Structure 1
Amino acid sequence: MARETWATRTGFILAAVGSAVGLGNIWRFPFITGQYGGSSFLITYLAFVALIGFPAILVEFVIGRRTDRNPVGALRELGSGAWSYAGWLFVVTGFIILSYYSVVAGWFLRYTLIGITEGFTLTDPAEANALFGTVSTGLDTLLFHAVFMLLVIGIIAAGVRRGIELSVKVMVPVIVVLLLGLAAYGFTLDGASAAYSYYLSPDFGTIAANWTEILPAAAGQAFFTLSVGMGVMITYASYLGEDRNLAADAGIIAALDTLVAVLVGFVVFPILFSVGIEPGTGGPGAIFVSLTAAFAGIPGGRILGVVFFGMVGIAALSSAISILEMLVSYLIDELGVSRVPASVALGTAVFLLGVPVTIDLMFLNLYDLLADGILLVLGSLLLALFVGWVIPDVARDELRKGIADIGGLDDAWIWAVRIPIVIVVLVSLYLGIVDYVDFLTGDFADWLAAR
């Protein structure tokens, strides 16, 4: 079976950007940024993207292009002993993330429909919170979860060029244009000045006092938004030719992804500040509750809300297809299963894993804290150790392909992967494990006891 490839460089870059630009940027980023101090979190997050995220993308790129395989096959081909089984971590991570990702994406589809049919009229945050309660769980939530997964399955079943590449060439530019327009609108609101101060004036004292919380949150957010640590970039790079400049492509992808995340702050925070809503409260439902109430209190809020929630739905779709493609590529490469049945089978399995999230949001916390705080970081750690210490010569050789004058970039990159990245990721992993244990012994244990 001939393996598919990208038709154009633009298609590959937009697919990788589309993978990174999704719910992590637009749903998760605002409430995480608000939860950890606004600008204090932003500067930490940006540092992680530049110092950790960019080299980590290159780690996945060299592995994928070198092997032309999915994460499981790639690690088996390049590694030996326990390393040959490490790729399974990415399959597990992808399954978990996509299962709840699809449910949350369904929320955005439903809010878009509510805006079109009813408008946003609930100025009272308590009423907006009650609306979120009806949207976030129940049979309707299950239905929208199913609809979203059917869209993802359909695109993946169509293939790399006719499905993924064709769709992202439309979706990603639309996302960027809509965000720029929304950010320009946010500039005109009364709360814009206070929002920009909150968002762009870092308090280093806050970072120093709360680094044990901010550090793992920023690390997890960077990995989540860049699609690093779950094998997606390995899969996408496996469809590349050897003439591609991996460093240049990784730089463009990281920059565009970060631009979108920062733009989201310029959209969300001015809207919240304009109606006096405190950012960072309410957890995963914060963006729905806060923005629903905010859209009801500003001119043109109904149109603005439909555009915003619809845009996030598009962004979620562009990311979800990358995760399912990573899973489907395993069945295609390793077991010779054709694309359509592989897409349907794995998409159905992901849907079933997400069903508990439609019943109780405690499962969302259970899945998200595990995947974001531990599994993504662990995956990045294993890849850094593997490339930096097990196959450094192979990695250098692969990075040099397509780069006319590499200078000392290959050596600098390997040493960055070997020491500082490993240290930072280790610390982040430890803190993520501590947070998850606290959750299991605290909120989750109380929830179980109440059942």
Structure 2
Amino acid sequence: MSERETWATRAGFILAAVGSAVGLGNIWQFPFKTAQFGGASFLVVYLIAVFGIGLPAILAEFVIGRRAKLNAISAFGRLGHGKWRFVGALGLLTGFWILSYYSVVGGWVIRYIWGSLQGAYFSDPTAYFGAISTGVDAVALHAVFMFLVVVIVALGIKDGIEKATKVMVPSIIIIMLGLAAYGATLSGATAGYDYFLSPDFGALMANLGEIVPFAVGQAFFSLSLGMGAMITYASYINRDDSLVADGSTIVVLNTFVGVLAGFVVFPLLFAQGIDPNTSGPGAVFVSVAGAFANIPAGRIVGLVFFLVVLIAALSSAISLLEVVVSYVIDNHDVGRAPTAAAIGVSLFVLGLPSALDTAWLGWFDTLAYQLLLPVSVLLVLLFVGWVLGGEALSEVLKGTGLGNGFGLTWLWMVRVVVVIAVLGTLWLGIQTLFLGPEPAIVPPL
């Protein structure tokens, strides 16, 4: 077996992890979920979930990865708890599942870049999305997006993922800041800010049971938790850097980009009098495309917006593919490039139903949000908190200069507070999936 790769720099790890987190979850899913569940009401629950649940959970995944220095499945065996490998396997399966339909959405983004240049969606955004979101074109662009992801991962950790994310992540932030500044100049932007930032706490409490599972699922999705990605990325750290500092940086930057996406999308929508409260995986594409049709320099703004979405999608997708590639090359004497290509083909095949029918994509997404992600995160938390225990405590404190008081607070947060929060979220999600009048667990026919 060849020597295992590591990050060239600490900044490379941070940017790669931020790139994993800052993806379609922030720019596609976050505005879509925010609009679907009441604007600022969803934002409040999401922010609590990110910092109260997401930050302790990301540190738990980092602990496993860095201590074991192996992929998300084999790590449990190296830590002396081989019976827990199924937890890593579930994370790998979850990331694989998500990437299969994520790639389809990535293909949509490629098509919208071209459509922005032509102004193709300006006359009827709804019809345009309906025409390009499924069928032969959607399948072809799904293949193109997956090919791009495979190429980056095939180049390796230092020469592929690290170099790519060092360009991608700063580009995302700079372009999004520019778009947000542009949005602030639009007439009607203030109404968008009010919708996004002024919660109705009465409505929030009345709909809390519906909002919580999606807000927590969004936190997991946007931080790449429960997919094996953060375990895998942390396994390439070769020094005693502060996991707390790195994890906090990643969570803050990820949340900043998600909120920044709201400052871009909602002023655009309200400036054109477009109702943001639409549902379905194409909601943001249709709504934002409709806004671009009527604003000054709409083609240029649309091009820039969808370009940054593509960069974000790629930066996140490469982390999900790396989870599977890492497992294969850690355990078998095979090359990185052919492994990435073979897994990419498998993902392409699994994503075909989503490319042929958006109902399938919606079902894949709902199952990931409400079942796979919370179960996977819950098992990681139980392992780190109650099985690894003292080892996890010593690992999380390395390089921090912090005392045992901080470590014990984090450990008991993981053991009790965060576990209870995830259990509650999982129960609410199961009620929606299995116990509702029309269970979402039934796939479309």
Q: Judge same fold: TM > 0.5, yes or no.
A: yes
The aligned residue for residue 94 of structure 1 is 95
Q: CA RMSD in A?
A: 1.5
In 1, are the aligned partners of 2:71 and 2:232 still within 8 Å (CA)?
yes
Once the two structures are superposed, residues 82-134 of structure 1 have per-residue CA deviations (whole angstroms, 9 ceiling, x without a partner) of 42322110111011100000000100110001111345422xxxx31111011
Mapped to 1, the partners of 2:63 and 2:440 lie a distance apart of 41
Mapped to 2, the partners of 1:443 and 1:426 lie a distance apart of 19
Letter in 2 for 1:11: G
Mapped to 2, the partners of 1:60 and 1:34 lie a distance apart of 30
The aligned residue for residue 385 of structure 1 is 382
The aligned residue for residue 177 of structure 1 is 174
Q: Which of the numbers 190, 195, 198 marks the counterpart of 1:201? A: 198
In 2, are the aligned partners of 1:362 and 1:444 still within 8 Å (CA)?
no
The aligned residue for residue 61 of structure 1 is 62
The aligned residue for residue 85 of structure 1 is 86
1:205 Cα offset (Å): 1.2
Letter in 1 for 2:38: G
Mapped to 2, the partners of 1:439 and 1:93 lie a distance apart of 23
Number of aligned residue pairs: give it.
444
Secondary structure of the structure 2 residue equivalent to 1:2: coil
The aligned residue for residue 7 of structure 2 is 6
Mapped to 1, the partners of 2:84 and 2:437 lie a distance apart of 30
Counterparts in 2 of 1:39 and 1:116: CA distance versus 1, 3 Å = same
Mapped to 2, the partners of 1:288 and 1:433 lie a distance apart of 29
Alignment TM-score, normalising by the size of structure 2: 0.97
The aligned residue for residue 426 of structure 1 is 423
Give 1:60-209 correspondences, 5 Å limit: 60-78=61-79, 80=81, 82-122=83-123, 127-209=124-206
Runs (4 or more) in structure 1 with deviation over 6 Å come to none
1:185 Cα offset (Å): 0.6
The aligned residue for residue 38 of structure 2 is 37
Mapped to 1, the partners of 2:240 and 2:444 lie a distance apart of 54
Secondary structure of the structure 2 residue equivalent to 1:4: coil
1:239 Cα offset (Å): 0.2
In 2, are the aligned partners of 1:77 and 1:84 still within 8 Å (CA)?
no
Structure 2 residue runs of 5 or longer lacking an equivalent are none
1:310 Cα offset (Å): 1.1
The aligned residue for residue 221 of structure 2 is 224
Question: Is the aligned partner of 1:414 residue 2:415?
Answer: no
Alignment TM-score, normalising by the size of structure 1: 0.96
Once the two structures are superposed, residues 375-405 of structure 1 have per-residue CA deviations (whole angstroms, 9 ceiling, x without a partner) of 1111110011111111111101111221223
In 1, are the aligned partners of 2:329 and 2:336 still within 8 Å (CA)?
yes
Secondary structure of the structure 2 residue equivalent to 1:408: helix
Structure 1 residue runs of 5 or longer lacking an equivalent are none
Question: Is the aligned partner of 1:346 residue 2:343?
Answer: yes
Q: Which moved more, 1:129-138 or 1:112-121?
A: 112-121
Mapped to 1, the partners of 2:47 and 2:442 lie a distance apart of 34
Mapped to 2, the partners of 1:373 and 1:275 lie a distance apart of 33
Counterparts in 2 of 1:302 and 1:391: CA distance versus 1, 3 Å = same
Q: Which moved more, 1:325-334 or 1:113-122?
A: 113-122
The aligned residue for residue 242 of structure 2 is 245
Secondary structure of the structure 2 residue equivalent to 1:71: coil
Mapped to 2, the partners of 1:261 and 1:185 lie a distance apart of 17
Give 1:355-370 correspondences, 5 Å limit: 355-370=352-367
The aligned residue for residue 398 of structure 2 is 401
